[in-house]
Amino acid sequence: MKKLSIALVSMMILALVLSACATPTAAPTNAPATVATQAPAVAAPKGDIVIGNLQDQSGGMKALSIVLTYAAQMKINEINAAGGINGHQIKMITYDTRSDVNEAINAYHRLVEQDKVVAVFGPPVSNIGIALAPVAEALKVPIVGLFMDDNAIIQPSGNPWTYMFLGQDSAAVQGKTIAAYTLNELKTKKIAVLYNLQNSYSVGLANAFEGLVIAKGGTIVDQETYTTTDKDFRAQLTKIKAANPDAIYFPSYPVEIPLIYTQAFELGITVPMIGSNSVPPTGLKAGTDPAATTNTFYPYGVNPFDPELTTWAAKYKAIYNADPIAQSYSGADAFGIMVQAITACGDMITSDCITKEMNKVQNYKGFQGMITMSPTRHQPDALPMAIMSIEKGDPKFVTFYTPDGPVE
Amino acid sequence: MQLSTFLQQAINGLSLGAVYALIAVGFAMIYNVLKFSNFAHGGVLGISAYVGFIAATQFQMPLIPVILIGMVAGAITAVVVEFVAFRWIRLQKGQLVYFFVTSVTMLMLLEQILVILFGASFESYPYTLIQVKVIKFSDLTISVTYLITLFVTIIAFGALIYVLKKTKIGIAIRAASNDLTATSLMGIDVNFVIIAAFVVSGMLGGLSGVLYGINASLSPQIGQIVVKGFIASVLGGLGSLTGVAISAVALGLIEVFLISTIGSGLSPVVIFLIMVVFLLVRPQGFAGVSFADKA
């Protein structure tokens, strides 16, 4: 009997492992053991300028990640058609991270050590950004991406990771921006928060949001969490409903957003649902009843209805047969500032030079606004964010906002 | 906790438990006959969920045909799995652990087939598949999707009991679940009985796949929900379908109340601890009669 019990316990452990299979690998807190102790010498390219690209092309974040490749490729085509950078054509080597931290680390090693890239375009996945930061510190090839959690660009000491650069507002800025909007414009005081405790993006946004709400005199009446594999949020939402909040903030990933909208709606929750910049590409899919997304607000990197964006958007759609999303624009900006840094290196295009020039990027005219890279925070000085709502399933621009209030 | 909140959480738990019950009964069905835990049932569930999704999106079929197509897909997939993965081991009189390992491998294989066909991203059934979303009683709300799941679970379970107790093939399956060798010696075509068991299990898998796909969302890993069926089966006793169904509903209730009290991070830990305690103290589950040769 004992043997059988042991066998069954073993099976249960296997079941546990199985249940964890769908969970993206958590970001390691320290540099992995495989990090090289000696940085490879990355020489100036003699022919093409080779840039690495780490994006999710087949995993759970594909929808948000693959658009960065699209935006980068459009920029590369434009530059190469115009003669390249200082006569050098740009060549991009893309590896699929599948939203997996270890895949991303291995791919970064391959890009640096085998493909000899001078810079890497990174994914919009914070867990991966956090994991890559210490590896990049050892391999000394800069990564410019959309990993929003501040931990991907700022070390625990407060200094920036030398080779990590963010091309959009960080989670801290985005969380504070939407918190300020929720308090000031929606006239709310009591707010509930629902976030994924296994996801750096979600945790980073929730912390920033809560910090500003409390600092401005608001109250977090309930804080509920879920895990990456969860599909049923009714238990958390029922508890939140009982706390009687004025609004609910849920900084979630695309796979969770339609479910949270739908289940909150089914539970009769009518207070404003405040999302993150992951809402648009999925919150409006055919799987979500438009009735469930009324009274919804979320921050967005750009106003997608801005006439200044329409030319680029039309060109993008002509190539990829899809409308650009927030990450398309932010990705184009992130890639653009990396190109500006490469261009500034003249004929000595090395990883070191690109890193130094990234710190000096100023007044780059991007889709998100004029971008100036902070050399102490390795992210743009706070850019205004577009606040969007959803009406009858379609996005609608409301206003531009910063943590300090509305802007023109 | 206020009474209305408590009642709402109970409804949430029962709803979730109904989904688990369908999965668990299909899972336990194969255990009853072949005496091994069939994790490939998760793969059957996943394939069926995607077939139903295609029927709903590409062919704009309404709910009932989508469910029926999912069940047919489940039955076909289960039979193919039996033929490809388990039959040879059975004919070779392989050890139970081979069945178990093969079933886990088949789950992963079917997942990878879904990744190749649909990518690793997620999909959603069209929200128009079920028009009415919610029924309200005062402060309480019941999701119609879950209500349908509960209703279908009861119907399916009733039909299963009827088939097992009143039909020849059902009686043959029950006989096989008692002693496969003796059943064979009685002149019953054991291969046919086993295929019938896989068909029934596959239909339940297809049903749960479509309903869970509608309630949640679709991803190639959707079949890993079979772990909940496994837990419910162990708690209920793998030899008793009624015990499995009851424990699945109880699991849904326990899960919801744990999440609302200790949070979603600790909830799985407590559930697995309960399972460990059950395995050590009462390995036959609360309704099972035999624990021998579980694998």
pLDDT tens digit sequence for A125-180:
888 999 999 999 999 999 999 998 999 999 999 999 999 999 999 999 999 999 99
Taking CB atoms within 8 Å and a gap of at least 24, the contacts of A103-110 are A104/A54, A104/A128, A104/A131, A104/A132, A105/A32, A105/A34, A105/A131, A105/A132, A105/A135, A107/A52, A107/A54, A108/A52, A108/A54, A108/A132, A108/A135, A108/A136, A108/A139, A108/A141, A108/A143, A109/A34, A109/A36, A109/A135, A109/A139
Q: Hey, are the CB atoms on B216 and A12 less than 8 Å from each other?
A: no
CB contact under 8 A, B12 and A226: no
Please tell me which of the candidates A12, A63, A267 has its beta carbon nearest to residue B276.
A12
Q: Going by C-beta distance under 8 Å and a sequence separation of 6 or more, which residues neighbour residue A3?
A: none
Q: What is the average pLDDT across A7-23?
A: 47
Query: What distance in Å separates the CA atoms of residue A243 and residue A52, rounded to the nearest whole number?
Result: 48
The pLDDT score that the predictor gives to residue A181 is 97
Same domain, A165 and A190: no
Pick the more confident residue, A255 or A40.
Answer: A255
CB contact under 8 A, B134 and A15: no
By Cβ distance, the residue of B9, B37, B256 closest to A11 is B37
A249, A397: one domain:
yes
Nearest CA in chain B to A255: B122
Examine the pLDDT at A282 and tell me if it is beyond 90. Answer: no
Same domain (yes/no): A215, A290? yes
The minimum CA-CA distance between B167 and chain A, rounded to whole Å, is 33
For residue A35, the model assigns a pLDDT of 37
SS3 A289: coil
Model confidence over A397-408: pLDDT tens digits? 999 999 999 987
A386 — alpha (psi -120 to 50), left (phi > 0) or beta?
Answer: beta
Please, are residues A401 and A177 in contact by the beta-carbon 8 Å criterion?
yes
CB count in 10 Å sphere of residue A227: 17
Position A5 in a domain: no
Q: Which residues of A touch B136 (CB under 8 A)?
A: 268
Question: Which two three-digit tokens encode residue B188?
Answer: 């019953």
Same domain for A159 and A289?
no
Task: Give the number of beta-carbon pairs within 8 Å between A and B.
Answer: 156
Helical H segments across A185-325, by residue range: 200-215, 234-242, 257-266, 280-283, 307-320
Q: Mean pLDDT in chain B?
A: 88
Predicted local distance difference test score (pLDDT) of residue A112: 96
pLDDT tens-digit map of B41-81: 999 999 999 999 999 999 999 999 999 999 999 999 999 99
The reply to whether residue B224 touches residue A60, judged by beta carbons under 8 angstroms, is no
Closest to A282 measured CA to CA, from A301, A256, A249, A250: A256
pLDDT class for A393, splitting at 50, 70, 90?
A: confident
pLDDT at A300 over 80: yes
Q: What is the distance in angstroms between the Cα of B51 and the nearest Cα belonging to chain A?
A: 16
Supply A178's token pair.
Answer: 């939407």
What distance in Å separates the CA atoms of residue A229 and residue B196, rounded to the nearest whole number? 33
As to burial, measured by CB atoms within 10 angstroms (0-12 exposed, 13-18 middle, 19+ buried), residue A254 is buried
Considering the domain architecture, whether residues A397 and A256 belong to the same structural domain is answered as yes
CB–CB of A18 and B5 under 8 A?
no
Q: Do B119 and A259 touch (CB under 8 A)?
A: no
Specify the amino acid at residue B256: V
Of B12, B133, B283, which has the smallest distance from its Cβ to A238's Cβ?
B12
Same domain, A334 and A199: no
Looking at the structure of chain A, the number of domains it has is 2
**Same domain? A80 vs A163:** yes
The residue with tokens 């190109």 is A339
Mark whether A192 and A279 lie in a shared domain.
Answer: yes
Q: Does A236 map to a domain?
A: yes
A11 to B119: CB separation less than 8 angstroms, yes or no: no
Residue A253 confidence (pLDDT): 86
- Residues from chain A that touch B119, judged by Cβ atoms under 8 A, are 58, 62
Reading chain B (295 residues) residue by residue, the pLDDT tens digits are: 688 899 999 999 998 998 899 999 988 888 877 778 899 999 999 999 999 999 999 999 999 999 999 999 999 999 999 999 999 998 888 888 899 999 999 999 999 999 889 877 788 898 888 876 788 888 788 888 888 888 888 888 888 888 888 888 888 888 887 777 888 888 888 888 899 999 999 999 999 999 999 988 888 889 999 999 889 888 887 667 888 899 999 999 999 999 999 988 899 999 999 988 888 888 777 766 554 444 4
Residue A200 has a pLDDT of: 87
Residue B290 pLDDT: 52
Shortest Cα–Cα distance, A284 to chain B (Å): 11
| Residues paired with A396 in a beta bridge | A389
Res B31: pLDDT:
83
Is the pLDDT at A45 greater than 60? The verdict is no
- Closest by CA to B271, choosing from B237, B215, B232, B216, is B232
Q: What is the pLDDT of residue A21?
A: 42
Cα–Cα–Cα angle for A218, A220, A260, nearest 5°? 125
Query: Could you tell me if A162 and A197 lie in one domain?
Result: no
| Contact criterion met (CB below 8 Å) for B228 and B23 | yes
Confidence check: pLDDT of A14 > 70: no
Which of B2, B224, B279 has its CB closest to that of A5? B279
Which of B124, B230, B294 is closest, CB to CB, to A15? Answer: B230
Q: Which residues of B touch A7 (CB under 8 A)?
A: 294-295
Specify the pLDDT at position A1. 45
Closest CA to B49 of B239, B212, B261, B230: B212
CA distance A126 to A166: 11
What is the Cα–Cα distance from B16 to B140, expressed in whole angstroms?
Answer: 16
Query: Residues A267, A318: one domain?
Result: no
Distance CA B49, CA B43 (A): 10
- Inter-chain CB proximity B2 and A242 less than 8 Å: yes
- Asked whether the beta carbons of residue A238 and residue B136 sit closer than 8 angstroms, the reply is no
Q: For B212-238, write each residue's pLDDT tens digit.
A: 999 888 888 899 999 998 898 888 876
Q: Tens of pLDDT along A352-389?
A: 999 999 999 999 999 999 999 999 999 998 889 999 99
Asked if A94 and A66 count as a contact pair (C-beta separation under 8 A), the reply is: no
Q: Two tokens at B44?
A: 């059957």
Q: Phi/psi zone of residue A98: left (φ > 0), alpha (ψ -120 to 50 degrees), beta?
A: left
User: A288 vs B9: CB contact, 8 Å cut-off?
Assistant: no
Give me the mean pLDDT over the A104-124 stretch: 95
Which two three-digit tokens encode residue B28?
A: 């336990």
pLDDT number for residue B132 = 65
Range of the domain at A114: 49-169+307-377
Q: Both tokens of residue A346?
A: 């003249």
Is the pLDDT assigned to residue A16 strictly greater than 70? no
Residues A182 and A294 in one domain: yes
CB-based contact B202:B77 (threshold 8 Å): yes
Compute φ and ψ for A107, nearest 5 degrees. -65, -40
The answer on A201 and A113 residing in a single domain is no
CATH code, domain carrying A339 = 3.40.50.2300
Phi, psi of A198 (to 5 degrees): -100, 5
- Contact call for A18 and B107, based on CB within 8 A: yes
- DSSP for A252-277, written as a single string: --TTTHHHHHHHHHHTT--SPEE--T
Q: Cα-flanking dihedrals φ and ψ of residue A361, to 5°?
A: -60, 125
DSSP string, A33-88: TT--SSPPP-PPPSSSEEEEEEE-SSSTTHHHHHHHHHHHHHHHHHHHHTT-BTTB
